[in-house]
Structure 1
């Protein structure tokens, strides 16, 4: 049972146009294809209370994390932020860490993980790397290679150290949060994945595996979630 964080957005369908909890279907499909059961977690106060009934957490992509949460002034290229979503996902992350649940963060999910642990973000990647090769525009994925450290969790799970990945982001990790170790990089040196030291499976990736045909990254999360939690004797 994998909890999947949701967007809090205004949405339109049929005759309706109103606030909604939204998750792109491809995230749910990939969790299901990997052998898990997705459970949508809306961005509501107290939603983290359900995590004790689940086996893992997926923090999906989306809009920019509020730069005030890491002490920065907003960049002119930033999009709108959602205080409601930031708060709900940070609470989910902290509770999942306390419960030692397996966690996978995708794009925004990795960035949120880094901020929650005291790290900072590059607010506009082209300013750092000098090109637009990490995003093709609104809703357009580009592809590029990432190189994984051979001893990282994902490299062992995927049995590969180079991946051709779909990418769509304008922000990325700058200073790593406490306990995080970078474990994948693009050719221009940008951090593309990180994992949390001393935790069985807390992994974030900057690319979008939900947009790929294969399910290997999600299979790694589901496999970690299937491992029984240790019994604590009081």
Structure 2
């Protein structure tokens, strides 16, 4: 069978490497895509561009993977910016929200990680907690300096996630925002030990899953294999 092609969103930021300094660059940590390569998928990076091209871009791939990054602009869900919220990346927000809409319209498999899960929720009319310490009273979810903290999650039974992940497990966290009001058509499929929404999914779709934690770092393969399998099935319909 042909390898599935998965469209992956990316950063577009100022970057420096080797002799190149302060370059406006498309980049993506390899950790995000390594599990998909291991699952047999081909990776197609989808950097921000005209949102009107979202459906055209997705017509050439078999699934959409929304990766992490800076905070979603609170204006996109009708809120004023919190003092701790990142400066908006308007072009990335517009592109990724358009991709989610086009993917839903096409019935395409979708996986969102960290920011990606938040984009999925906002695209469905949901909202976000802009600063998790205001909700839980501490900063253990994002300790800074790229230090991932292992915190417990409880996965709800009878969900797609429950078929792919232990019901109780510590997972790597690094987020200072989280889902608040859940978007239309989505259901909560995991919560943290402090009650925060840590995963959502659309039970009407074969594979539409958003994970607030970082599954690319937790060593489990079932989510990635199932996502690649869903992409392959979509591509060979």
Q: Shift of residue 74 of structure 1?
A: 0.6
- Cα distance in 1, alignment partners of residues 235 and 225 from structure 2: 18
Alignment of 1:5-16 (within 5 A): 5-16=9-20
Q: CA deviation at 1:197?
A: 3.4
Corresponding residue for residue 108 of structure 1:
115
Contact 1:66 1:83 in 2 (8 A): yes
TM-score (norm 2): 0.92
1:228, distance to aligned residue in structure 2 (A): 4.2
Tell me by how many angstroms 1:36 deviates.
Answer: 1.3
Instruction: Give the aligned partner of residue 141 of structure 1.
Output: 148
1:172 maps to 2:178: yes
Structure 1 residue 47: Cα displacement:
4.8
- Is 1:63 the equivalent of 2:67? no
Q: Compute the displacement of 1:144 (Å).
A: 0.8
Alpha-carbon distance between aligned partners in 2 of 1:48 and 1:190, rounded to the nearest angstrom: 33
Aligned pair count reads 230
What residue is the counterpart of 1:128 in the other structure?
135
Question: Is residue 20 of structure 1 aligned with residue 25 of structure 2?
Answer: yes
Task: Could you tell me which runs of 5 or more consecutive residues in structure 1 were left unpaired when the two chains were aligned.
Answer: none
For the aligned residues, what is the CA RMSD? 1.5
How far residue 156 of structure 1 moved from its aligned partner, in angstroms, is 0.8
Deviation of the 1:78 alpha carbon? 1.1
Structure 2: runs of 5 or more not aligned: none
Counterpart secondary structure, 2:223: helix
Equivalent-residue separation in structure 1 for 2:105 and 2:145 (angstroms): 36
Q: Answer yes or no: is the 8 Å Cα contact 2:54–2:102 preserved in 1.
A: no
Offset at 1:72?
Answer: 0.6
Which SS does the other structure have where 2:82 is aligned?
coil
Distance (Å, rounded) in 2 between the aligned partners of 1:229 and 1:35? 14
2:57 matched to which residue of 1?
50
SS for the counterpart of 2:120 is: helix
Tell me the CA shift for residue 229 of structure 1.
6.0
For the pair 1:209 / 2:218, whether they are aligned, the reply is no
Partner of residue 36 from structure 1, selected from 8, 18, 41: 41
> What corresponds to 2:79 in structure 1?
72
Aligned to 1:227: 233
Structure 1 distance, partners of 2:192, 2:110, is 22
8 Å contact 1:154–1:220 — kept in the other structure? Answer: no
What is the aligned partner in structure 1 of residue 91 from structure 2?
84
Please give the alpha-carbon distance, in whole angstroms, between the structure 2 residues aligned to 1:81 and 1:143: 28
| Structure 1 Cα separation of the partners of residues 128 and 142 of structure 2 | 17
Whether 1:119 and 2:126 are equivalent positions in the alignment is: yes
CA distance in 2, matches of 1:134, 1:212: 15
